[in-house]
Structures are given as structure tokens and as C-alpha cells.
Chains A and B, each alone.
Chain A
């Protein structure tokens, strides 16, 4: 594999950048693999990368119905954070933060990780108390957290609405200074390129039609490009999880919902933090190109549409304007939607299943992108060792049966309002 560096850049300049190697190959599926990962999104690519890198398992295929970078890894708002209260979520995410900090070097690919900090705004005394509690829980887990009062928030984001007569006055906020953003496409491409270089076959335009299970053990997968035998299969298909579960006669605590995001026209640098509105569901950051990147609520009903509905967009942007009135002057450049695997307690599932050799990675709700490296790392461990790592022990499938829910927000089973 060609190393990316200033020297390779200069060298290729002499050939008008026409002689770069392909970042990854386009192989046809082989008859058999040790491990097949279904889903060539961020999580699937990261899983294959860590299988090869950490466990020396390289006879691996990633099969992807569409193309690399076309699903949620290219549809998110690129926010990276570990500001969780529960130990299982906090420790898992903070492990991921360490991987994020090293990612550009590890992958030899600039993922433009920008630890600019995230501020969750509080709009009441009660919310300040809740944030103080969450901040303390974070610090006990070694995650940085700073509780800000109104004046401190105003210093950092003076463009927010600090006037007296607002419906949701800003009381303060909880900041995680080490949180930030990264270039989402680069994460997918970086993992794909490295996985490919270590021998992983990335097979695109390959749809799963069915599974072969015999005597409680997975033996292969049937695809639109032929049958593939596999000793182990990992599902990493986000919003399509229920479709594949149906083919396996499994019912999961997952519903598929649509989440929209949008960007404004590019403007000069105004916001150097990620900010979330605490009285509703709205988050915003500014991209390096100057666009304001925004998102918020789900569309509110089960959906596989991968495109949004305007009432939700209007609702979300109303919250944005309540928080930062200057947004009303911006034109929208693009909107898009992705289908989310919403779990019943708001936390993910990375676990074995009742079928031997079949592993499940789903339930990422709003937070799939930031979990990409930690999800791939722990899922690779779970597949390679056939047992869960302590980092994903809390993300078990049977927690819904045993009552050990990870309800970070405590909103119950109505996935469409969580």
C-alpha cells in the first residue's frame, strides 16, 4: 500500500496525480471466508480493520449492499463525544476517544479530528443539577467535564440568545472540552483502505438474500453475488438490522426510524464548539467549509425512507433559532436523512446471539458515528474470541430480558420520542 505523506504528494504531483493507487480493490466474493461482516459502513469497516490488526484474522469479507460511505457513515453530523453518565456508556465511549485521538496516525489518513469541545446547554436549575451529576459521573470515569454558569457560556458562545425575555433562558451548560468532530467520509475511507491493505475483501453492490444455519450454527450467507460460506458472521447494518433479523427468525428490541440533518450555506467562522439545545433536541457545529451542520429529532414514525419530511425539519430549526437567532438569516444548502437502529433503551447492542457464529452489532440510535472505532474494536474482539470484552459487556442483547437496561435518558420504550 502506498503511504500517504508530503513526499508521496510531491512525487505524484509530477504525474498530475494520475498515478495514485486505488485506495481499495473491488474483488469478487470468494467461496469461503473465516469471517463475513455484513454492512460496509463505519462500524463494519472498523470491525474488519481491528480483526486484521488486533487479531490477525485477515480472511475476511465485508459485504455491502450499496457502496462504501453511502449509508449513515456519510449521513451523520460528525460529532464525537463521551459525555455519558452510566459507566458502561462512559467507559466504552472514552475508550473510543483514545482511538479517535490516534486515528489519523493509525490509519495514515487525515480524518480531521477536531477536539473543539461540546456544550450541552441547560435551561433551568433542575437541568443544571442533572448536568452536575452527569459531569461528576464522567469525571469519576476519567472523562473531562466542566460545569459552566451562564456568564461562562456567554463568553464561549456569545451568539446564542442571552436576552432576558426568552422562553428557554440559558442557565449554564455542561462542557466536555475533549469532544469534537471528524471528517466522516475520511473515517470510512481510512478504515476501508487499511482493511483492504491487510487482505480484507470489500465487496460492494452485494445484497444479503438469506442465511444458512444448520444445527444452531451459522454456515454461510446467500447474496446477490452468490453464496458465501463463513465460519463467523457479524451483522453491522444499522437501520437494516430488522430486515436481516427477519431472515434469521429473530425479533429484536430495535425499531428503524429516520433522522434528518442539514447544513446551511457556508459562512465565516462563528462557532468553534459543538452546542446542543437543552430544552428540545437540536445540535449544531460549524464545518471547516463554514457550513452550519445541524440535526435534531427523528421524523417520529417508523421509516426506511432515507429522506426527510419537512414538518420535522421545521420543528428542529425552530429550536435552533430559539437558541441562536442569527440562524434565521441563513439559507439551507442541503438536507438529508439516514435510517437509525433505535434500541428500546437508547443504548447499543454488541453481543453474540443464540445462533453459534452469528454476532450482532446494532442499536446505535443517535450516536453511531462517534462509536465507530470503539464499536469496531469491541465487535472484532467479540467475534475473534467468541466472547464479549468487558467494554461491551453492558451492551448485551439479553439485558432487555434481565432488566439491566442502559437507559441513559430514562425515556422508556418509545423510540420515536427518545
Chain B
């Protein structure tokens, strides 16, 4: 069982959250020439490495806010959580 510290509600069990994937993926900016490769990187291609991983979770059975979580994909240790609008350093 993971315990995730929601920046709005505090420490809650994994059962209250739903996963939203890699948080480092950025949608290409609009009103700009966008190559197929950029779209591919946004829609399909992922790093998905072993180790620290920034990812999106939604506190679905809580405050329903989307948050960013930095977790180790091998040990599941959680290092940091941010509100959705906060930038990853």
C-alpha cells in the first residue's frame, strides 16, 4: 500500500487516488509549427525509467484535485508531492 501526501488533504492511502501517468510530458505549444516528432513525444513516447519519476495522481476519493508526485519506480518511495499548477524543479 502506498501512502501519498496530498498537498491539499495530507497523508492518505493509495486507495483514494487514481493514477494519471508521466507528469513531465508537456503538450506542444499552440500557434507554433509542431513537428510530427513533437506530437509523437507528447502522445506516445515515454522515458519510463527505473528510479525517480514525476507522475500525476488524482485524489479521486478525496478533494478530487490533480497532484504531482515524485516516486521511485523500483522502491515506491515517495520523495515529494506538488499541487498540479506547481512547476517541477
Contacts and interface: CB of A to CB of B under 8 A. Distances in A.
Contacts of B76: 303, 305, 309
Given A302-B73, A304-B73, A309 B2 contact: yes
B47 A301 contact: no
Contacts of A242: 46-49
Interface stretch (A104-112, A245-253, A330-338, A377-385): A245-253
Nearest to A343: B44
Given A301-B55, A303-B76, A414 B21 contact: yes
Interface in B38-66: 40-41, 43-50, 53, 55
Contacts of B79: none
B19 A416 contact: yes
Interface string B1-31: 1100000000000110001011000000000
B19 A255 contact: no
B14 A311 contact: yes
A413 B41 CA distance: 12
B2 A413 contact: no
B83 interface: no
A256 B48 contact: yes
B16 to A, nearest CB: 11
A254 B19 contact: no
Contact of A251 (B21, B41, B53, B71): B41
Contacts of A302: 22, 48, 53, 55, 73
Nearest to B44: A253
A309 B14 CA distance: 10
B74 interface: yes
A231 B74 CA distance: 33
A3 interface: no
Contact of A401 (B40, B49, B55): B40
A301 B19 contact: yes
B85 interface: no
A253 B55 contact: no
A69 interface: no
B36 interface: yes
Contacts of B75: 305
Contacts of B37: 401
A344 interface: yes
B2 to A, nearest CB: 7
A256 to B, nearest CB: 5
A400 interface: yes
Contacts of A255: 21-22, 46, 48
B21 A416 contact: yes
Contacts of B41: 251
A301 B15 contact: no
A252 B22 CA distance: 14
A311 B15 contact: yes
B45 A309 contact: no
A400 B19 contact: no
Interface in A229-248: 242-243, 246
A400 B46 contact: no
- Sort A-B residue pairs by CB-CB distance and give the 5 closest, nearest first: A253-B44, A251-B45, A255-B48, A304-B50, A304-B74
6 contacts: A242-B48, A243-B49, A253-B40, A301-B71, A311-B1, A414-B21
Interface of B: 1-2, 14-15, 19, 21-22, 36-37, 40-41, 43-50, 53, 55, 71, 73-76
Given A242-B48, A303-B73, 6 more contacts: A251-B46, A253-B45, A253-B46, A255-B46, A302-B55, A400-B44
